[in-house]
Structure 1
Amino acid sequence: MASFLNIFSQITPPPFVTPEQYDGLEYRWKMFVFRPAYFQKEAILLGALLFYVAFFFIGRSINTKKVEKWVNVHEDLLKSQFSSPHVKGLVRDGSSDFFTFSTGRRNVASLHSIFRLRPYHDLLQTIYQVVYSFVDLQYNPRNDLQLDFKLLPSALPHDFVWAIVAKDEMKSIKDNRWDLTFTKTTENSALPSNMSVMSEFADVTESILKNTALLDALKDPKIAPYFRSLSVTDQPRERPTKLDSPEKHVILDLVCSSPSQAVDTTALVAALFPFIDSLSKINLRPETKTKLKKVRETFEKSLKVEAEQAKKEELDQAREDQKAAKRKAEDERVSKLSSAEQQKILERERKRSIRKTQGKTVRK
């Protein structure tokens, strides 16, 4: 008990001693006296806490207004295209990620609108992003918006990967989109100078770029600050580890605009719907179809080989684990025997080892 009291006395702060003279600011009310000079540290801590809380709510409000404004501006367009736009409304995941889901349109199984905004609500993450952008000049955090149209099987009869990419986004897109590794990057005179084409074969590009409405929307100068990429793909965005039924998507990646400029992207989004409808009319040369099919068959074969190898390694590891478990159980059993019995087992193991060695020598 005495030792406990001794420890308690050591961690107890010393009592506050009121100085005999105080000529600073003070507030009196009846028997109460408040002297601010004695609470400078507490005032700094309280101010920092209030600043952090205010930063959180202001940052969350900025992101929410940005997303809500974009959704409201494009709502009439989506209502005219989908029988069920925004099925569950605007879904929030934290304070920087938002989602909407639309369905009920010809050629489109669903539309996922995915907002991934900068964490303006998180002071530490915001400071990190600002500081790291000075350290790594290629690091450019943005407010991302992705419109992912999952197509119905009949909407795109061919299997290919194709994209238009803003040149300043080329490295970021290549790093994050495995499916675009199927393509080659080329220039095209029909596109603005700040955009490049990524396509598996030239006649895929020729057939797709016949859509003049899409080209006109891409040439609009108001689109340039927001456009990142537009892709048509039959492959997953991350490299698969097993064979799955292919899904075909049209994906538009944008920089989410500020609330005052949300209307700038409506023309491009509107052009996507006739563009999607035109995909079923694409005609490719027979040799192109053969090459596209061969590329996918080659990849599927390599995926099967990898899957078989992984399964073999898994089985080998399971056998090794089983052997190790048996050895451990045997060692535990032997350790409980008497010294004489352990000696007999060791002698038996030694003779067995000699016989195996002699057998190998004879076979040689």
Structure 2
Amino acid sequence: MSALVKLLAGITPPPIVTPQEYDGWQIKWKAIVFRPALLKIEGFLAIGILFYVLFWYIGSSVNASKAKKWISVHLPIYEQQFSRPQSKTGLIQDGYSDSFNFSTGRRNVASLHTIFTLRPRHDFFQWIFQTARTFVDLHYRPVDDIQLDFKLLPGALQDGFVWAIVAKDELLSVKANRWDLVGTLSRRFLFLQLNHSQTLAKTSENAAVPSAFVVMTEYADITENLLKPIGNFNLLNVLQDPKILPYFRSLSITDQPRERPNLPIPVEERQKHVILSLSAPSSSHAADTTALVSAMFQLVDSLNKIHLRPETKNKLKRIREDIDKTIKEDAEKEKALDAKAAAKRKAEEERIAKLSPAEQKKELEKERKRNLRKSQGKVVRK
């Protein structure tokens, strides 16, 4: 009981001492007296909370308005192209900075996910962190991103390949986040110390595209087919529109997953995507990207008219076989390493179980210190 009393006494705030003489401003009504000068800390706390709530309200409203305005301006295009341009609830919000729209019901397109990933304007501390990081990391550039991910139906793209046009200032971001374009090992496989450095798409400038963009392609044959006029559609004319330059981040066509798979994906299960990434325009300029979005449907319909050379098709097939082989080998080596580590751990547990309690305590203390030294070493290396 005494312990409970001590605990309550420890967490009970000290009593408020009201001085007999007070010469500051006060509000008095009957027996109630309000003296602001005695509540300075509480006043600053209330101001801080009010500021944070206002920041959250204004920031979340700006994000919601930006996403809704963009989708409302482009919705007539979606309604023209899809039998189901939106879900029943319309634009779906995931928190205060992310939202998405799902469209389906069109030839050559299984679905279109329109994904908004906006800056965390609702969270003061996240926003400050992002802003401060731009002064430290010159390559860090937080943006309001809109991504249109077209999942193609079987037959919409006969040949599997990887190709992209990327704004030069987005190249580092693409190389860091798109395994399907760069084809390098993801970080979780670096401990295997494997000597695989294959790159799916090679980066180069192309005289035909605007100077602000670079082309990432597996073979020149693919680029030639995509940049030449196909029927009434000409991708070069679309890219040369000066209106899209401030907002264009990347356009990619891929038959590979964006993240490195743990196991090879069977050919019949591989999905093909056309992915357009944009910087979100302000609400007053939301219409600037309508021509580009409308052209994406023409691009999707023109893909089944592409005819690559037989030697290009054979090379693409061999590359994918090699990648599948590498992924399978890596998975087997990782599994073998996991099994070896599990066997070693089990043997160590069995050895410790046979020791006396005092010896077991010593072994556990040694293990704790060993792990502590390892964690300290990792911090120093970082």
State if a TM-score over 0.5 links the two structures. Answer: yes
Residue 209 (structure 2) pairs with residue 208 (structure 1): no
Native 8 Å contact 1:226 1:255 kept in 2: yes
Residue 328 (structure 2) pairs with residue 307 (structure 1): no
Residue 156 (structure 2) pairs with residue 155 (structure 1): yes
Change in CA separation of 1:14 and 1:60 when aligned onto 2, cut-off 3 Å: closer
Q: Which runs of 5+ in 2 are unaligned?
A: 183-199, 358-382
CA distance in 1, matches of 2:7, 2:173: 58
Change in CA separation of 1:9 and 1:84 when aligned onto 2, cut-off 3 Å: closer
Name the amino acid aligned to 1:117: L
CA distance in 2, matches of 1:317, 1:10: 49
Name the amino acid aligned to 1:196: V
CA distance in 1, matches of 2:75, 2:152: 21
Native 8 Å contact 1:27 1:34 kept in 2: yes
Name the amino acid aligned to 1:112: H
Change in CA separation of 1:148 and 1:326 when aligned onto 2, cut-off 3 Å: same
Corresponding pairs, count: 333
Change in CA separation of 1:5 and 1:292 when aligned onto 2, cut-off 3 Å: closer
Name the amino acid aligned to 1:251: I
Deviating more after overlay: 204-213 vs 89-98: 204-213
Q: TM-score with structure 1 length normalisation?
A: 0.85
Native 8 Å contact 2:227 2:234 kept in 1: no
CA distance in 1, matches of 2:325, 2:2: 77
Native 8 Å contact 1:102 1:110 kept in 2: yes
Compute the displacement of 1:26 (Å). Answer: 1.7
CA distance in 2, matches of 1:147, 1:6: 61
What is the DSSP-based 3-state SS (H/G/I as helix, E as strand, rest coil) of the residue aligned with 2:18?
coil
CA distance in 1, matches of 2:222, 2:86: 33
Native 8 Å contact 1:177 1:238 kept in 2: yes
Compute the displacement of 1:165 (Å). Answer: 0.4
Q: TM-score with structure 2 length normalisation?
A: 0.81
Counterpart of 1:270? 294
Compute the displacement of 1:279 (Å). Answer: 0.6
User: What aligned pairs does 1:156-195 form with structure 2 within 5 A after superposition?
Assistant: 156-181=157-182, 182-195=200-213
Counterpart of 2:247? 226
Deviation sequence 1:308-362 (CA, Å, 0-9, x none): 2233334444544555566566x38xx79xxxxxxxxxxxxxxxxxxxxxxxxxx
CA distance in 2, matches of 1:30, 1:309: 81
Compute the displacement of 1:14 (Å). Answer: 4.7
1:250 maps to which of 274, 277, 301: 274
Compute the displacement of 1:87 (Å). Answer: 2.3
Deviating more after overlay: 29-38 vs 110-119: 29-38
Counterpart of 1:241? 262
CA distance in 2, matches of 1:109, 1:3: 66
Computed over aligned residues only, the root mean square deviation of the Cα atoms, in angstroms, reads 2.2
Deviating more after overlay: 31-40 vs 102-111: 31-40
CA distance in 1, matches of 2:223, 2:351: 63
What is the DSSP-based 3-state SS (H/G/I as helix, E as strand, rest coil) of the residue aligned with 2:155?
helix
Counterpart of 2:29? 29
Counterpart of 2:94? 93
Change in CA separation of 1:28 and 1:206 when aligned onto 2, cut-off 3 Å: same
Deviation sequence 1:27-82 (CA, Å, 0-9, x none): 22223222221122211111111111111111111110000001100101001001
What is the DSSP-based 3-state SS (H/G/I as helix, E as strand, rest coil) of the residue aligned with 1:153?
coil
What is the DSSP-based 3-state SS (H/G/I as helix, E as strand, rest coil) of the residue aligned with 2:146?
strand
CA distance in 1, matches of 2:209, 2:95: 38
Name the amino acid aligned to 1:169: E
Native 8 Å contact 1:233 1:250 kept in 2: yes
Compute the displacement of 1:197 (Å). Answer: 0.7
Q: Which runs of 5+ in 1 are unaligned?
A: 337-364
Counterpart of 2:116? 115
CA distance in 1, matches of 2:46, 2:176: 44
Identity %: 55
CA distance in 2, matches of 1:179, 1:233: 7
The structure with more radius of gyration: 1
